[in-house]
Amino acid sequence: MANYTTFEAGSWNDLGQHIFKLGDLKGQGKLFLGDLLKTTGCEISMNRIEAGKSYLFHHKHRQQEEIYIVVSGRGEFQIDGEIFPVQEGSVVNIRPAGVRTYRASSEESLCYLCIQATENSLTSHTIGDGEIVPGKVEWPAQRID
Ligand code: ZN
Protein backbone atom coordinates (compact mmCIF):
# COMPACT_ATOMS: atom_id res chain seq x y z
CA MET A 1 0.00 0.00 0.00
CA ALA A 2 1.32 3.42 -0.97
CA ASN A 3 2.25 5.86 1.77
CA TYR A 4 0.10 8.59 0.24
CA THR A 5 -3.34 9.27 -1.20
CA THR A 6 -4.19 12.01 -3.69
CA PHE A 7 -7.38 13.50 -4.99
CA GLU A 8 -7.96 16.15 -7.64
CA ALA A 9 -10.74 18.43 -6.45
CA GLY A 10 -10.61 20.72 -9.48
CA SER A 11 -10.81 24.48 -9.45
CA TRP A 12 -12.03 26.31 -6.37
CA ASN A 13 -14.42 28.12 -8.71
CA ASP A 14 -16.03 24.79 -9.58
CA LEU A 15 -16.23 23.54 -6.00
CA GLY A 16 -20.02 23.77 -6.26
CA GLN A 17 -19.92 20.55 -8.29
CA HIS A 18 -19.29 18.77 -4.99
CA ILE A 19 -22.69 19.24 -3.41
CA PHE A 20 -22.93 18.84 0.31
CA LYS A 21 -26.57 18.82 1.37
CA LEU A 22 -26.95 20.39 4.77
CA GLY A 23 -29.53 23.05 5.34
CA ASP A 24 -29.19 25.74 2.72
CA LEU A 25 -25.69 24.70 1.71
CA LYS A 26 -27.11 22.71 -1.20
CA GLY A 27 -25.37 23.82 -4.34
CA GLN A 28 -22.58 25.62 -2.56
CA GLY A 29 -19.14 24.16 -2.48
CA LYS A 30 -18.17 21.98 0.40
CA LEU A 31 -16.01 18.95 -0.06
CA PHE A 32 -14.90 16.77 2.84
CA LEU A 33 -11.55 15.19 2.05
CA GLY A 34 -11.07 12.84 5.00
CA ASP A 35 -12.59 9.77 3.35
CA LEU A 36 -11.12 10.64 -0.04
CA LEU A 37 -7.63 10.99 1.42
CA LYS A 38 -8.08 8.27 4.07
CA THR A 39 -6.97 10.62 6.84
CA THR A 40 -6.78 9.21 10.35
CA GLY A 41 -5.91 12.20 12.53
CA CYS A 42 -8.00 15.01 11.12
CA GLU A 43 -10.87 15.90 8.83
CA ILE A 44 -10.34 18.55 6.20
CA SER A 45 -12.76 20.25 3.87
CA MET A 46 -12.55 22.65 0.95
CA ASN A 47 -15.26 25.30 1.14
CA ARG A 48 -16.62 28.01 -1.12
CA ILE A 49 -19.39 30.41 -0.17
CA GLU A 50 -20.79 32.32 -3.11
CA ALA A 51 -20.61 36.11 -3.07
CA GLY A 52 -23.52 37.54 -1.13
CA LYS A 53 -24.35 34.19 0.52
CA SER A 54 -24.23 33.17 4.14
CA TYR A 55 -24.59 30.04 6.19
CA LEU A 56 -28.12 30.04 7.58
CA PHE A 57 -27.28 28.30 10.84
CA HIS A 58 -24.77 28.46 13.66
CA HIS A 59 -22.90 25.40 14.81
CA LYS A 60 -20.37 24.28 17.36
CA HIS A 61 -18.54 21.03 18.03
CA ARG A 62 -18.28 18.50 20.83
CA GLN A 63 -14.58 17.64 20.56
CA GLN A 64 -13.14 19.11 17.40
CA GLU A 65 -11.36 22.40 17.06
CA GLU A 66 -11.55 23.84 13.56
CA ILE A 67 -8.74 25.69 11.83
CA TYR A 68 -9.87 27.85 8.91
CA ILE A 69 -7.41 28.98 6.27
CA VAL A 70 -8.85 31.50 3.82
CA VAL A 71 -7.32 30.95 0.38
CA SER A 72 -9.22 33.59 -1.59
CA GLY A 73 -11.99 36.14 -1.44
CA ARG A 74 -13.36 38.09 1.46
CA GLY A 75 -16.05 37.60 4.04
CA GLU A 76 -16.88 37.67 7.71
CA PHE A 77 -16.82 35.17 10.53
CA GLN A 78 -19.17 35.40 13.48
CA ILE A 79 -18.00 33.55 16.57
CA ASP A 80 -19.91 33.76 19.85
CA GLY A 81 -21.63 36.85 18.46
CA GLU A 82 -18.36 38.61 17.60
CA ILE A 83 -18.01 39.52 13.93
CA PHE A 84 -14.70 40.10 12.17
CA PRO A 85 -13.54 40.27 8.54
CA VAL A 86 -11.49 37.55 6.85
CA GLN A 87 -9.62 37.53 3.56
CA GLU A 88 -6.93 35.58 1.73
CA GLY A 89 -4.33 34.65 4.31
CA SER A 90 -6.63 34.84 7.35
CA VAL A 91 -6.17 31.84 9.63
CA VAL A 92 -8.60 31.20 12.47
CA ASN A 93 -8.70 28.44 15.09
CA ILE A 94 -12.11 28.01 16.68
CA ARG A 95 -12.28 25.91 19.82
CA PRO A 96 -15.09 23.34 19.94
CA ALA A 97 -17.55 25.38 22.05
CA GLY A 98 -17.31 28.45 19.79
CA VAL A 99 -20.68 29.09 18.14
CA ARG A 100 -19.85 29.99 14.56
CA THR A 101 -21.21 31.03 11.21
CA TYR A 102 -19.73 32.71 8.14
CA ARG A 103 -20.59 34.69 5.07
CA ALA A 104 -18.94 35.85 1.87
CA SER A 105 -18.70 39.51 0.98
CA SER A 106 -21.31 40.87 -1.39
CA GLU A 107 -18.81 40.99 -4.24
CA GLU A 108 -16.35 38.13 -3.73
CA SER A 109 -16.83 34.46 -2.99
CA LEU A 110 -15.04 33.19 0.11
CA CYS A 111 -12.86 30.10 -0.31
CA TYR A 112 -11.26 28.39 2.68
CA LEU A 113 -9.89 25.16 3.99
CA CYS A 114 -11.24 23.85 7.28
CA ILE A 115 -9.18 21.35 9.27
CA GLN A 116 -10.93 19.55 12.11
CA ALA A 117 -8.87 17.84 14.77
CA THR A 118 -9.65 16.65 18.26
CA GLU A 119 -8.81 19.36 20.77
CA ASN A 120 -5.69 18.61 22.85
CA SER A 121 -4.77 15.57 20.73
CA LEU A 122 -1.57 16.95 19.20
CA THR A 123 1.52 15.28 20.65
CA SER A 124 4.18 17.50 19.07
CA HIS A 125 4.32 20.83 17.25
CA THR A 126 6.08 22.01 14.08
CA ILE A 127 8.93 19.72 13.00
CA GLY A 128 9.17 17.79 16.27
CA ASP A 129 7.74 14.69 14.63
CA GLY A 130 9.82 14.84 11.46
CA GLU A 131 13.17 13.22 10.81
CA ILE A 132 15.65 13.68 7.98
CA VAL A 133 15.98 10.62 5.76
CA PRO A 134 19.52 10.13 4.43
CA GLY A 135 20.09 10.21 0.68
CA LYS A 136 20.61 12.67 -2.14
CA VAL A 137 17.49 14.39 -3.54
CA GLU A 138 17.14 13.53 -7.21
CA TRP A 139 14.44 14.32 -9.74
CA PRO A 140 13.95 13.07 -13.28
CA ALA A 141 13.91 15.68 -16.06
CA GLN A 142 11.24 18.34 -15.62
CA ARG A 143 7.80 16.88 -16.35
CA ILE A 144 5.62 19.96 -15.94
CA ASP A 145 6.10 22.99 -18.19
ZN1 ZN B 1 -17.75 22.64 12.06
Ligand 1 centre from 32 Cα, in Å?
11
- Cross-sheet strand order for the sheet of 29-32: 29-32, 43-49, 110-118, 64-72, 91-94
Q: What is the rounded distance in angstroms from the CA atom of residue 72 to the CA atom of residue 50?
A: 12
How much is the pLDDT for 127? 79
How much is the pLDDT for 75? 98
Ligand 1 centre from 60 Cα, in Å?
6
**Termini Cα distance of the chain:** 30
Ligand 1 centre from 67 Cα, in Å?
10
Q: Is 70 helix (H, G, I), strand (E, B) or coil?
A: strand
Ligand 1 centre from 66 Cα, in Å?
6
Selected residue with higher pLDDT from 72 and 21: 72
pLDDT digits (tens, 9 = 90+) for 75-107: 999 999 999 999 999 999 999 999 999 999 999
pLDDT digits (tens, 9 = 90+) for 33-83: 998 899 999 999 999 998 999 988 999 999 999 999 999 999 999 999 999
Ligand 1 centre from 127 Cα, in Å?
27
pLDDT at 27 over 70: no
How much is the pLDDT for 28? 66
Burial letters 102-130, b for 16+ CB under 10 A, else e:
bbbbeebbbbbebbbbeeeeeeeeeeeee
Q: Which fold has domain 30-118?
A: Jelly Rolls (2.60.120)
Ligand 1 centre from 4 Cα, in Å?
26
Among 126, 145, 115, 92, residue whose Cα is nearest residue 45: 115
